[in-house]
Structure 1
Amino acid sequence: MRKLFLSLLFIIAGIICLFSQNPERVYQSHSEENGIFSVTTNDGKYLFKYYSTEILETTFVPNGEETNANSHAVILQPNKVETTYKYVGNDITYGTEGLSVIVTTEPFKISYTYNDDSLISEKRGYYKSPHESMELVKDHIIADVSEKIEFNLTEEEVLYGGGSRALGMNRRWHRLPLYNRAQYGYQSYSELLNFTLPVVLSSKKYMLHFDNSTIGYLDLDSRKDNTLTYETLSGRKTYQIIAGNSWYDVVENYAELTGKQPMLPRWTLGNFSSRFGYHSQKETLETIDKFKKDEIPVDAIIIDLYWFGKEIQGTLGNFEFYRDSFPEPKQMVDVLKSQNVETTLITEPYVLKTSKHWDEAVNEDILAKDSIGNPAVFEFYFGKGGIIDIFKPKGERWFKDIYNRLSDYGVNGFWGDLGEPEELPNWVNFETGSADELHNIYGHNWAKLVYEASLESNSNRRPFVLMRAGYSGSQRYGMIPWTGDVSRSWGGLKPQPEIALQMGMQGIAYMHSDLGGFAGANLDDELYARWLQYGVFQPIFRPHADETLASEPVYRSEKAKKLANFAIQMRYRMLPYNYHLMAENHIKGRPLMRPLFFEEPNNADLLEYSDAYLWGNDILVSPVLEAGKKTQEVYFPRGSMWFDIETDEVIEGGQKKSVTLSESFIPVYARGGSFIPLAKPMQSTKSYDDGYLQLQYYHDVTVTKSQRHLYMDDGITTNTFENGAYQILDFEAKIRGSWLEIEFNANNGKNFTPRTKTIDFTIHNIEKKPKRIKINNEKVNGTYNSQYKTLTLNIDWDTNTEKKVRIKLRK
C-alpha cells in the first residue's frame, strides 16, 4: 500500500511539473495600461504587447532590472488592436480575435492559443543556470552563467529556423549556436554557418522570434524531452510570437514586423561574372569580352580583393584601387557600363596596420577599442589590425565616405565580406556594447551603412548590397546573402535548396549559392551544369569560386559552356516572372523559393521534404543533386495538374512520380491554370523590352477560373511601388460551357505611363483545333500546333483598355 501511495505521489508531482511553469514563480497581480498587459510575479514582471492581431510580444523583466525597449530587428509600431479579457477560475485570458495569452495563476503558467488552438507554452520560462559550453564554439561563447527562456513542445512538431545551416529541413533535436561564423568547404552537414538567426518556426504554423542580438544558443529539443530553450549571455528577455491561418500569413506577418526587402535593381536578376578573383583591369575586361564573344548573357562583374592590392594578406583597409593592376578604374567601369555590365567591389570591415588607412583610422578614432580604450588590435588570417566601429557615428560616417568615393567611379554595387565578423575577440568593445552583444548584428548594421551610403550617392538608384552575414530584419536594408564558402562537390550542392528555403521562411528571401561551388579543385562538368541549372530557379544567379578552377562558363569546356549557356538563357527568358516574384516579396514579404508544405500544410510527408520546391506560386522545381542520375522521383502537389515545361506532359498532382532526366535541364513544371510570362532572348537585362511578352497559359479543364498578375516598373528607380510608378497586368481565364474566355486588364499606378504591348500568347493543352477565335468580338485566326496541342495568338494590347479573347473549343 505504501508503494502504491508513493507511486501516486510521484505521478501527481509529475503532472504538476508538466502543466506548471517554474515551480518557484508565484503570481501576484495583473493590470492593463496603455495597451500593455502586465503580470507581476514574485521574481519579476511579464509585459505583453500586441503589434497586430497575429503578433504578440512577451517580455520578462526580472526583479532588479530595467525594461529595455531597444530592438535591432523590429520596426513595426504596435497597432491599437481590439482585445478581450476574461478571468475564469485560475485562468486569465487576454487576446485578440485570434491570438491570446493565457496566464494560469496557480500553478503559474504562460501559454498561447490561436483561434482557440494551443500553440506553445512556457515550461520554466525565464531562469538562469550554469552555462553549458559547446565544443563547436567553446572559444567564442564564454560564460559562467547563461539566461534562458524555456518552452514546452508537442511530440509531433517539426521545427525550422536558426538561420543558415545544413541539417535537413527538420532542425529539431539540435542545439544551435547563435554565433555567426564561416565554415570553409562545408558539404552536406554543417551545424553553424555565416548567418544565424534567433528564429524558430513550427509545423503548427507559428513563429518565435527572440528579440535579442547577444550571442547564445537555440536548443531545439536536443535532449528529446519536448523542450525548446533560448539561451543568451545577457540582454533582453523578449520574444514575439507570430501566428497566421496559413504559412504565407506567418511569413508575411514576420516581414511586417521586421521589415520588407526593397526592390532590387532589375540587373541583379541577370548573370554575374564572379571569382576569387580578378587580378587586374586587363583580366576583368578580357573576361567580359569573352562573354560577349561567346554570346553568353552577363549583367555584372564582381571584383574581389585584388582591386586594392596584389596580395591576399596585409591589404585589408586600403579601400583604394591598386594602380599597378587597375591603372584607370573609372575608364574600366565606363567601358563595362558601355557593355551593359555593372561593377561591384568587395569590401571588408577591417583596417590592418599594413594598410594605407591605418594611421588615419587611429587618428580619426574610428576603430573598436580594447578594455583600456586603445584601438583593439588582433591578428588573424589576413594580418594584424582592428575592426571599424560602425556603431560609433564617427566610424559609420568614415566608412560611408569610403563608399561614396567608390561610387564616384560609377560603381553600382558593393560586396561586404567577412561580416560575421570573421574575427572578433570577445574582449573587443564598440561604442554601444561589447563584442558578445554586437557580434551577430555587425553584418546587419554594416548592410544598413552600405545601403544608406549608396542612396547618399544616388538617392534614386536602387542599391545592391551583397553580404555574407546578418541578423533578423537585415532584408530591409536590401541585403543579398549567400550560403558561404561551400565545397565544390556533390555534397556541397545537396543542402543548397534546403538552406535557401529555410532562410526564405525567416524573412531572408535572397539567400543563394556560389553556383558551381566555391572551395576545392574539383573539375566536374556535370556538377557545374547541375548547379547552374538549379541556379535558374534561385534568387541570384552568380557562379563564383576560388582560383583553383574557373567559375565563369567562358573558361570551361565546350560542353560545360553549352549547358551553362542554356541555363543562363533560360534565366533571362524568365525575367518577367522572376521580377514579379521580387515585387511580391517587396509588397507582401513572400519568399521566392517556397517549401511544398506551404501548399499542403497538413501533409506530414512534406514537412521535411526539400527535393522539390515552388519557385513563386506556379513553377515546381526539382534540382538534380546527385551524380549520374537517369531518373528522379518528384512529388507533385495535390489540387493542380502540372505541365512539363519542355514536353507539355501533364501530371496529376497528389502523387510521387519517377521522371526521366535530361543533361540539359532539371525537371521543371508549370501549374495548370497559370500564366507564365517570358521575355525575348537577350544578352543583358538592359536590353529587356517590357513592351513584349511571350505569355504561356497552361489550360486545365479542371480549373474553371484562374487569375494571375504581373508587376512591371522601370527596374532602376527607388520606391516605384510606393510612388505609384508601376503597372500591374491582370490575366484572367474562365471556362464558360465550350468557351474559354481570357481577359487582359491593367492596373496603372498614378505615376505610370501605360504603353501598348505586343503579346505572343500561347495556350497549352488545347486538344483540338478551336472552332472559332475572337479578340474583342473580332474573328481572328491563330496558329494551332497539333503535335504539342498549343494555340498561339499575336495580340497588340493598349494597356489603357481591356482586351478579351474568346475561344470556342471542340469537344
Structure 2
Amino acid sequence: MRVILLLVAIIFSSVLSAQVVWIDPADATVDSTITVYFDATQGDQGLMGFTENVYVHTGVITTESYGNSDWKHVVADWGADDPNVLMTRLETNLYSLSYNIRSFYGIGTDETVLKLAFVFRNVDGSVTARNADGSDIIVPLQLNSDWVYQSFSNTNSGLIIQTSGGQVVLRDYTQAIETEILPSGNTSEPSYAIVAEPTGYPFSVNETGNAIFVEGEQMDLTIQKSPLKIYYIQNDTVTALKSFFTSDNGSGGLLTLDLDADAKLYGGGSRAVPFNLRGYSLDLYNQAHYGYSANVNNLNVSIPVFVSSEKVAWIFDNHHPGQVAVSGEGMTDLGYQANGGNLRFFVTAGDDLNIVSSNISNLIGKAPLPPMWGMGFIQSRYGYETQSEAESIVSQMRDADFPMDALVLDLYWFGGTNRMGDFDWDLSRFPNPDQMISTLHNQGVETILITEPYFTLESDHYNTISSLGYFAKQENGDPFVLWGFWAGDASLFDMSSPSARDWLWPKYENLLNQNIGGLWTDLGEPETHPAEMTHESGSAADVHNIFNNLWAEMIFENAQSMFTHRRMFNLTRSGYTGMQRYGTYPWSGDIQRSFDGLRSQIPIMLHMSISGVGYMHSDLGGFTGGGQNSELYTRWLELGAFSPIMRAHGTGVPTEPIFYDTQTQNYVRNAINLRYDFLPYNYTLAWEYSTLGIPLARPMNYYANSPSVLDDLGDQYLWGKDVLVAPVLAEGVTERLVYLPDGKWANYYSGQVWNGNTSITANAPLGTIPVYLREGGFIVQSQENLKTTKQYQSDSIQIKHFISADGQTSEQHWYHDNGEDPNNLLSGNYDLMTLTGNTIGTASSITLEVTENNLTAPERRMEFKVYGLNTPPEQLALNDHTIALSSSQSAYNQSLPAAYWNGTFLYVHFNWRDTTINIEFDSEPAGLDLITDRNGSNVLVAPNPIYNHSVVQIWVDQPAEYEFALMGVDGKIYGKANSYLFTGKQSLPLANISENIDLMHAGVYLLQVRSGSNQEVVRLVQTN
C-alpha cells in the first residue's frame, strides 16, 4: 500500500466542481463528518427538475490513484437502490447527504485520501449529473503539514532550509532555481530530466526577522519563515511555493505554486485540448488512446514542463505518475502531485518566450541535428506487406512526380503481429531486403523499420529473454505474460535493466548495419503496463514514464558511438522530459481520421514545443476511422508541409497521394513541393533548435511583449520567427480568420501587405494554406525542384525578403552542412550565412555574408525576391555597381547580375560563392526625395545624383541649430557638419558636409538632417 500523504486543500479539479457540489465543513479531513450538498441547477444540469429519488455514486481519489478517473473505495453498485447513497431533498434541485468520511468509504489508516469523487444518478443510473464538461465532480480534502521552519545554512551545495519535517534545498543554475524537498532521512535522487549542473557557489543572503532575502545569478528569492513560503523573483514577483506536503516516508507528495490570475498556461507534453490549459487537470502518466480526436487531456507523452504567458516556466523533476491541476481563469493555484520520489522543481523566467525556451533547453538538454532526409516527405502505412509492394509504391510515387525521402515499414517486415519481437526479415515477404534497401536508397529513399518492446510467445527471442530474466516480472519472479495482448500473448521487455538493454542493442546494430535510414519505436508508453508488473528498477509506476526514454537513450548512445558518420532518426510514440536529447521524432499517436482529429494537432504540436520537444507531428491524413476523404487528406497534408516532420500514415484507407483523384494529387504535390522549397529555411530552424533550444513551431505570442488575443490562439502558429501559418481545419471552408501580430505582414503568395495587430479574412480554397511573411523577415528556399533532399546542393537559392520598417534592422541566419555527420556542430564542419535587412527613409539594403565558412562553397545561383515595395526602385546597386531594371522577365533571365520588377515583387539575381553581397535600392524617383518634419521644414539636394558642387537647400520655419550627417545605407558615416540656420530658404554646399563626394562609390546614400527632436532623411544617389 502507498504511504500516507499529508496534504492541504488545493484545487485539483475543475473550477466548475465547486458550483455543483460543496461540503460542510469546507476544511474537512478524512476523519471529519461532513454534509455533501448537490445543486442540480449547476454543472451539466442532468438532474435539474428531476422529481424522483436522487442517489450519489461516490468514491475517493487516493495516492494510489493515477488520476481523477481512478476511483477507490466506491460506495454501492451503479444502479442499486441503496439507502446509504440516497440523497435528502432539501428543496427543488438541492440535495444533501451526511456521513463520516473514513467509515463511509472504509478508509484504512495507512491510506491517504486526496479528494472525494461524485456522480449523481437516478435509481437505475439512466439519468446522471456531472460537471458541465461531462467530467466527474471532484472535491479536495484538507490535510495538514508539519514542515515548520527551524534554521538555514548557506553552502556551495545550495541554501538548506531546515524544518521540523526535513530540508528544503535551493540551488542556483544561473538561469533557474531548483527547489528540492527532502523529508528527514531522504537524499537527493538522480534526475532523468535535467542535464545542467548548479553553479556550485553559495547565494548572497540577508536575514531579517521573519524573512530571508536571497540573491541568485538571475533570480532572487524571498523566504517567509512562518508559515514557510518561498517567493521566486525576477524583476517582479514571478511565482511562489505556497504550500507543500510529503508522505510519511518521503515517497511522493503535493505542492501548490502561485500562478498569475490572468496568465495562460501551456505545455505538459502531448495534450489534445485547447492551447490554454487553465481549468484543466492533467495526468502525468503516458497513455495510448486509439482513435482519439479532441478534448483528450492525457496522451502518449507526459512532460511535466509548463510555461505561462507571463514568461515563467516550471519544470517538475519527478518521473513518477502524478497530476497537475491548473486553476481556472482568475484563480491563482498551480497544483502538482507526485505519487513517488522527492518533490523537486525548477523555476526559470525570461523577457520573451523564446528566452524561456532557451533556458529550458539549457536545463533539460538540446536535440541533435536531424538527418537532412528527415526534413523531407516520409510515406508510411499500416502496412506494406511485401517487398514488391514497397518497391512498387516508391516507383509509383516517383512516376507521379511526388518528392519523397523515406518509406516506413510496419510489422510485416518481420512477419506480422504474432512475430512481434523478431528482428530478422520475413524472407517469404521480403526475399531480398539488402537489395531493396539499396534500390530505394539509390532513388533517394531511406528505409525505416518498426520495432516494439513486446515479445510474443511465438517470437524467436522469447525463450532466450525469459531465461535471462529480461522481461518485466510477476511478484514471484516469473515473466509477466500479457494474455490476450492484441498482437498475441506477450511479455514486456524490461528497459529499466542495463544488462537487458546491453543484450538488446546488438539487434539494432545489425539492422543499422543493413543501411536502414532509421527506426520506428512503437508502443513505448508502455501501451499495456499493469500496475502489478515489476521491473529491475522498481514497480511499473516507477518505470512507466521513463520507459521510452531508456529505450531511446540506449539506441542513441550506442548508435552515436558505433555509427559516427550518420545521425539517428528514431520515430517514436512516447517519451518524457529530455527525450529530444536522443534523436527522437515523436508523433501524436493513433489519431481519428476526422476534422476534429485534425484540429487537435496544432495545440498538441505547440504544447510539445513549449515542453522542449520540437519535432512533434501527426499521422498526416489521420490514422483510423472514417472513409477516404480527399478534402480532409488535402488539408492535413497542407498542415504537414509546415510540421516538423512530414509523414503520411494510417490504416483502412490509402495514405499515399497516388491513390487519390487527379485534383487531390495536384494539391498534395504542391504542398509537398512547398515543403522541399522550404528545405534550407526548415533546416536552419532545426539548427536553431539544436543550438538555442527554440522549437520549429512556435505559438503566436512567442515574441509578443504584452498580453493579447495571441495568448489563446491554437489554430495558427509561427513557423520560425518570420513565417505565420494558418491552416484550414474545418470541412467545406474556403476562407478563414487570421490574426496578425504587431508589424506588417505580407501574403506569401500574392505579396499583399497587411498591417498587424488585427485580424483579416484569408482566402483559402482547397489546395491553399494561408502563409504570411513578417516585415523584415527572410525565407531561404531551394530553387532546385527537389525530388529528394539528397539532390539538394544549395547551389540554386531564392531568398524571399520583406523589407524592414523604416529605421529598423532585421537579421536572420542560413545554416548549411552535409546533412549527415552528427558531429558537424562540434567540429565546425558547416557554413553559417547571415542575412541583414535595413531601411532608412526610402532607402533599403540587404546584406548577405558568410559568418562561419568551413565548407568548400559551391558557386550559387542566388535570387532575392523582395516584398513590400509599392513602386519599382529608380536606383539599385549590387556591391556599389548600379544595375538597371530589366525590361522583361525574359531579359532578366538571360542576364547576370540582373534585376526585374514585375509590378509586385523586385527580383535580383547573381552568381555568388562566399563574398559579402550588399544590395541597395529605393522606390522613389531619383531626382527628389522630400520628407516633411513636424515643423513643416523641407530639404532638397540638387543636383541629385550628387557631385561635389551639389547644394543642400532647406526651408526653415524657425531659427535653429541643424546637424547634418552623410551616411551609407549600412550606417557608415562619410561626413558631418553643424550650422545655425535662420528663417527662410537656406543653402549649404554638400561639400561642407563631406569633401570627398566625387570619390564615393556608386550607390545609394542618406543625408540625415536633425534639429532638436525633428529629423529628416533624404536619399542621395552617386553614379560614379
Distance (whole Å) between structure 2 residues aligned to residue 209 and residue 738 of structure 1: 48
Verify the 8 A CA contact 1:150 1:227 in the aligned structure 2. Answer: yes
Residue matched to 1:583: 687
Residue matched to 2:110: none
Distance (whole Å) between structure 2 residues aligned to residue 657 and residue 326 of structure 1: 53
- Report the residue type matching 2:474 in the other structure: D
Distance (whole Å) between structure 2 residues aligned to residue 395 and residue 788 of structure 1: 67
Verify the 8 A CA contact 1:768 1:810 in the aligned structure 2. Answer: yes
Residue matched to 2:285: 179
Displacement after TM superposition at 1:23 (Å): 6.2
Going from structure 1 to structure 2, the CA distance change for 1:748 and 1:391 (only over 3 Å counts) comes to same
Displacement after TM superposition at 1:430 (Å): 1.9
Aligned with 2:245 (options 109, 116, 126): 126
Residue matched to 2:918: 804
Say whether 1:381 aligns with 2:486: yes
- Report the residue type matching 2:181 in the other structure: F
Residue matched to 2:874: 771
User: Within 5 Å, which residues of 2 pair with 1:165-244?
Assistant: 165-221=271-327, 226-244=332-350
Distance (whole Å) between structure 2 residues aligned to residue 393 and residue 738 of structure 1: 65
Say whether 1:368 aligns with 2:472: yes
Distance (whole Å) between structure 2 residues aligned to residue 636 and residue 154 of structure 1: 26
Displacement after TM superposition at 1:808 (Å): 4.3
- Report the residue type matching 1:329 in the other structure: P
- Report the residue type matching 1:656 in the other structure: S
Verify the 8 A CA contact 1:724 1:752 in the aligned structure 2. Answer: no
- Report the residue type matching 2:913 in the other structure: D
Verify the 8 A CA contact 2:391 2:440 in the aligned structure 1. Answer: yes
Distance (whole Å) between structure 2 residues aligned to residue 432 and residue 722 of structure 1: 34
Distance (whole Å) between structure 2 residues aligned to residue 808 and residue 493 of structure 1: 44
Displacement after TM superposition at 1:701 (Å): 4.6
Verify the 8 A CA contact 2:529 2:540 in the aligned structure 1. Answer: yes
User: Within 5 Å, which residues of 2 pair with 1:150-161?
Assistant: 150-161=256-267
Verify the 8 A CA contact 2:862 2:909 in the aligned structure 1. Answer: yes
Q: Deviations over 1:650-688 (max 9, x none)?
A: 001110111222222111001111121110211100001
Say whether 1:48 aligns with 2:165: no
User: Within 5 Å, which residues of 2 pair with 1:680-695?
Assistant: 680=783, 681-695=785-799
Residue matched to 1:562: 666
Which moved further from structure 2: 435-444 or 232-241?
232-241
Q: Deviations over 1:751-791 (max 9, x none)?
A: 43334322022222333332232222223334466554222
Verify the 8 A CA contact 1:694 1:762 in the aligned structure 2. Answer: yes
Say whether 1:332 aligns with 2:416: no
Residue matched to 1:794: 909
Verify the 8 A CA contact 1:126 1:150 in the aligned structure 2. Answer: no
Displacement after TM superposition at 1:59 (Å): 0.7
Residue matched to 1:398: 503
Displacement after TM superposition at 1:169 (Å): 1.1
Residue matched to 1:251: 357
Distance (whole Å) between structure 2 residues aligned to residue 620 and residue 684 of structure 1: 25
Distance (whole Å) between structure 2 residues aligned to residue 787 and residue 595 of structure 1: 34
Verify the 8 A CA contact 2:718 2:724 in the aligned structure 1. Answer: yes
Residue matched to 1:748: 852
- Report the residue type matching 1:723 in the other structure: S
Residue matched to 2:883: 780
Going from structure 1 to structure 2, the CA distance change for 1:702 and 1:664 (only over 3 Å counts) comes to farther
Going from structure 1 to structure 2, the CA distance change for 1:703 and 1:496 (only over 3 Å counts) comes to farther
User: Within 5 Å, which residues of 2 pair with 1:354-503?
Assistant: 354-379=458-483, 380-503=485-608
Displacement after TM superposition at 1:595 (Å): 0.8
Distance (whole Å) between structure 2 residues aligned to residue 703 and residue 496 of structure 1: 39
Residue matched to 1:4: none
Verify the 8 A CA contact 2:158 2:171 in the aligned structure 1. Answer: yes
Residue matched to 1:140: none
Which moved further from structure 2: 357-366 or 183-192?
357-366
Q: Which has the larger radius of gyration?
A: 2
- For this pair of structures, how many residues does the alignment match? 772
Distance (whole Å) between structure 2 residues aligned to residue 97 and residue 360 of structure 1: 54
- Report the residue type matching 1:56 in the other structure: I
Q: Deviations over 1:23-80 (max 9, x none)?
A: 643211000112410000111110011111x2111111112x3213310011112224
Which moved further from structure 2: 34-43 or 787-796?
787-796
Displacement after TM superposition at 1:796 (Å): 1.6
Displacement after TM superposition at 1:368 (Å): 2.2
Distance (whole Å) between structure 2 residues aligned to residue 737 and residue 179 of structure 1: 56
Displacement after TM superposition at 1:354 (Å): 1.2
Distance (whole Å) between structure 1 residues aligned to residue 922 and residue 737 of structure 2: 38
Residue matched to 1:164: 270
Aligned with 2:456 (options 352, 359, 362): 352
Verify the 8 A CA contact 1:763 1:790 in the aligned structure 2. Answer: yes
Percent of counterpart pairs with the same letter?
Answer: 33
Verify the 8 A CA contact 1:175 1:222 in the aligned structure 2. Answer: no
Verify the 8 A CA contact 1:103 1:110 in the aligned structure 2. Answer: yes
Which moved further from structure 2: 339-348 or 172-181?
172-181
Verify the 8 A CA contact 2:710 2:741 in the aligned structure 1. Answer: no
Displacement after TM superposition at 1:81 (Å): 5.8
Displacement after TM superposition at 1:229 (Å): 1.9
Structure 2, unaligned runs of 5 or more: 1-24, 26-142, 887-898, 926-1024
Residue matched to 1:267: 373
- Report the residue type matching 2:580 in the other structure: Q
Say whether 1:526 aligns with 2:631: yes
Residue matched to 2:28: none
Structure 1, unaligned runs of 5 or more: 1-9, 11-20, 131-143
Secondary structure, counterpart of 1:354 in structure 2: coil
Displacement after TM superposition at 1:432 (Å): 1.8
User: Within 5 Å, which residues of 2 pair with 1:627-642?
Assistant: 627-638=731-742, 640-642=743-745
Displacement after TM superposition at 1:378 (Å): 2.0
Aligned with 2:843 (options 731, 739, 751): 739
Residue matched to 2:45: none
Residue matched to 2:65: none
Verify the 8 A CA contact 1:695 1:760 in the aligned structure 2. Answer: yes
Distance (whole Å) between structure 2 residues aligned to residue 243 and residue 267 of structure 1: 35
Say whether 1:101 aligns with 2:221: yes
Secondary structure, counterpart of 1:627 in structure 2: coil
Verify the 8 A CA contact 2:587 2:617 in the aligned structure 1. Answer: yes
Distance (whole Å) between structure 2 residues aligned to residue 809 and residue 66 of structure 1: 71
Going from structure 1 to structure 2, the CA distance change for 1:456 and 1:404 (only over 3 Å counts) comes to farther
Distance (whole Å) between structure 1 residues aligned to residue 150 and residue 554 of structure 2: 46
Say whether 1:652 aligns with 2:755: yes
Secondary structure, counterpart of 2:303 in structure 1: strand
Going from structure 1 to structure 2, the CA distance change for 1:675 and 1:604 (only over 3 Å counts) comes to closer
Does 1 or 2 have the higher relative contact order (CA < 8 Å, sep 6+)?
1
Verify the 8 A CA contact 2:746 2:867 in the aligned structure 1. Answer: no
Say whether 1:58 aligns with 2:172: no
Verify the 8 A CA contact 2:251 2:341 in the aligned structure 1. Answer: no
- Report the residue type matching 1:671 in the other structure: R
Aligned with 1:76 (options 193, 196, 202): 196
Secondary structure, counterpart of 1:721 in structure 2: helix
Residue matched to 1:600: 704
Displacement after TM superposition at 1:248 (Å): 1.1
Distance (whole Å) between structure 1 residues aligned to residue 526 and residue 191 of structure 2: 20
Going from structure 1 to structure 2, the CA distance change for 1:307 and 1:456 (only over 3 Å counts) comes to farther
Residue matched to 2:644: 539
Going from structure 1 to structure 2, the CA distance change for 1:233 and 1:737 (only over 3 Å counts) comes to closer
Secondary structure, counterpart of 1:810 in structure 2: coil
Verify the 8 A CA contact 2:810 2:837 in the aligned structure 1. Answer: yes
